[in-house]
Structure 1
């Protein structure tokens, strides 16, 4: 297929490479042209604007920072609304506001295009290896038609009507933030109480405490880099959307609101450009405990 791909950040860039390797012709677009070097070497073409990326495309994928950015990509000058039409499909993989995802989808539908909200999970290693889960909302027949393309990037889960993918991604990030905060509290408590860190980690990876976070993210704490592939600024952007979704749904979500405050404290303490797991370092520093551990902790974005 002819595909436009807008947004070549750490996740988007890797996902786009998998589409190229799957045999599709891509036109790529990003604010930083240097991010496209590897894609161009593999045969992709460069598009100066979102409209140019969409020209003649069967599918246009977008994966940008957040709601403001995706609104600009769609509604802005030389945006997708100026270029997309009958028969084309827009798949937005941005972590977005569900209501905005629906609004933009309706505006493109008025031009004859179809919209799918399919934000992603799985971290950078998932994007690199083609194991990046996608949570898709929209017309089921449209999503099933493009499933073979989407599954080049990772497993695709159909969630329901428009906006359902965005809600599911927010719920996924909601749980991750709670798990990451709880992981720090549990490991610090165990170590400060005299349990050897390696033994605590092995025990907490099984049974009732088992989580993807404990398996996948704890090594970033042990290595001391706290995973710079996703920053505290990005965490707070997502948590803001999550709290907004809780408010819209009329849920109390007390744990979520406490965790949001803890991430904000980490951002104020260490800086918004620091890795997401500095929320764990906050607990380490408060308790006077280090969770450094010797080991061959290969960063997940290099796997």
Structure 2
């Protein structure tokens, strides 16, 4: 029997740096794939691999058992899911919708509640791991929603990630992703400051990385983005403008739950300065530019 016959049809919306790689992995795994993106040209490699194009999210939702979305901002998510042409109004009965955008926990809870009124499972499942993790299927996926909904989507998520955890009910995935972004924010400051110190001290940055990357300072950001900084490669694995958006959400949520996070506040201010200086479409490692004369 053809294995793909027994697999759920999957709709995928949002084919940027992350989404395009993630959808490509699903196509390669044999899931019947339906795609929509505001810019159709980004879907061409997937269409060549057998995916079906849809002219609207509504028709994609009607054709899919599971819909995955990864778009830009909470406003984009709201516009995609709600309204007469939105995913919730047009999804198949008993289907599952999964938003993988880093978005607002309160919006995730709202969408889950509205979806349940139509017998839909709506989960939040933001990801971490950047472009490398997306291409290699090694993303960390933080899920919020019902255990039943999680069981339905876990086989699909296994194609995309190596660390998949149900964190709790609706919104819990988004809260967890904000924890992730808060840690990254201050860590990126440390990476940039350490490598700035190395350069100003007359050391070879690449040689420094060969030592400290294997010690207590080692980690994903230093070991993956440190070499890019050394090569002055600021191409995006994750856009500055998207990180600014994430830190804005985290700052608002921290205020709401009574957290004082000075490291986050400083990183948010510096990244906003970087974006305002014309670097919003660079990768997050471009923060290093602010430390240079």
Same fold, judged at TM 0.5 (above): yes
Residue of structure 1 aligned with 2:264, choices 233, 256, 265: 256
1:192 aligns with 2:200: yes
Residue of structure 2 aligned with 1:35, choices 42, 47, 52: 42
Q: 1:196, 1:22 → 2: CA distance?
A: 43
Q: 1:91, 1:268 → 2: CA distance?
A: 32
Q: 1:270, 1:46 → 2: CA distance?
A: 34
Q: 1:269, 1:229 → 2: CA distance?
A: 19
2:282 aligns to what SS in structure 1? coil
What is the CA distance between 1:199 and its match in structure 2? 3.1
Residue of structure 1 aligned with 2:186, choices 178, 188, 193: 178
Seen in structure 2, the aligned counterparts of structure 1 residues 204 and 270 have a Cα distance that, compared at 3 Å, is farther
TM-score (norm 2): 0.93
Query: What is the match of residue 297 of structure 1?
Result: none
Query: What is the match of residue 15 of structure 1?
Result: 22
Query: What is the match of residue 169 of structure 1?
Result: 177
Query: What is the match of residue 211 of structure 1?
Result: 219
Q: 1:177, 1:114 → 2: CA distance?
A: 32
C-alpha RMSD over aligned residues = 1.5
1:26 aligns with 2:28: no
Moved over 3 A (4+): none
Cα distance per residue 1:170-205 (max 9 Å; x no partner): 111221121111111111113323433233212221
Q: 2:84, 2:149 → 1: CA distance?
A: 27
Contact 1:18 1:152 (C-alpha < 8 Å) held by counterparts: yes
Size of the aligned set, in residue pairs, is: 285
Query: What is the match of residue 298 of structure 1?
Result: none
1:208 aligns to what SS in structure 2? coil
Query: What is the match of residue 73 of structure 1?
Result: 80
Cα distance per residue 1:96-134 (max 9 Å; x no partner): 000001101111111110111101111112111111221
* 217-226 vs 253-262, greater mean Cα deviation: 217-226
Q: 2:19, 2:277 → 1: CA distance?
A: 29
Query: What aligned pairs does 1:105-184 form with structure 2 within 5 A after superposition?
Result: 105-155=112-162, 156-184=164-192
2:281 aligns to what SS in structure 1? coil
Gaps of 5+ in 1: 286-303
TM-score (norm 1): 0.90
Query: What is the match of residue 277 of structure 2?
Result: 269
* 196-205 vs 183-192, greater mean Cα deviation: 196-205
